[in-house]
A and B are shown apart, each in its own frame.
Chain A
Amino acid sequence: DAGVIQSPRHEVTEMGQEVTLRCKPISGHDYLFWYRQTMMRGLELLIYFNNNVPIDDSGMPEDRFSAKMPNASFSTLKIQPSEPRDSAVYFCASRPTGSYGYTFGSGTRLTVV
Chain B
Amino acid sequence: DQQVKQNSPSLSVQEGRISILNCDYTNSMFDYFLWYKKYPAEGPTFLISISSIKDKNEDGRFTVFLNKSAKHLSLHIVPSQPGDSAVYFCASRYGQNFVFGPGTRLSVLP
Contacts and interface: CB of A to CB of B under 8 A. Distances in A.
Q: Are both chains from one complex? A: yes
Interface of A: 4, 31, 33, 35, 40-45, 48, 50, 55-56, 91, 93, 100-107
Interface string B9-52: 00000000000000000000000101010000111111001000
B96 A45 contact: no
Contacts, number: 56
B101 A4 contact: no
User: How extensive is the interface on chain B, given as a class?
Assistant: 20 to 34
Interface in B60-110: 89, 93, 95-103
B3 to A, nearest CB: 11
Interface of B: 6, 32, 34, 36, 41-46, 49, 89, 93, 95-103
A48 to B, nearest CB: 5
* Interface of A, helix, strand, loop or mixed by DSSP: strand
Given A4-B43, A101-B49, A43 B97 contact: no
Contacts of A103: 43, 46
B93 A45 contact: no
